Structure 1
Amino acid sequence: MGNAIRWMRTRLTLLAVDETGMSTVEYAIGTIAAAAFGAILYSVVTGDSIVSALTNIISRALTTNV
């Protein structure tokens, strides 16, 4: 029983790290997902509320008396 569990654990580990079966479609989907995430992040960071908040933080930091 111990050998079977050890074999199964070894086989699952090899399957988890083996990328020989990755197809071009999977890479394309990953690339599209990364680009979509980048677009969402860019729209959030360049939004008016974020820009005004960062400007306010920088202004307060520059006008603080030490």
Structure 2
Amino acid sequence: MVYEIADCSPRCADRCSKTQYKKPCLFFCQKCCAKCLCVPPGTYGNKEVCPCYNNWKTKRGGPKCP
């Protein structure tokens, strides 16, 4: 499931397609994808597929990536 930064936009569009908070979801998804080169499949969960995406935390310890 590793790909190039060019693949981030369509993957993040899918990932954020069902949230009511599209802009922040897309922003953080793109940021996480650029760093991790991975976006979990589906619109929610499945983060174990991308350990980097799953383990990147905010300053407060919450999940950074949607």
TM-score w.r.t. structure 2 length?
A: 0.26
| Bigger helix fraction | 1
Structure with more relative contact order (C-alpha pairs < 8 Å, separation 6 or more): 2
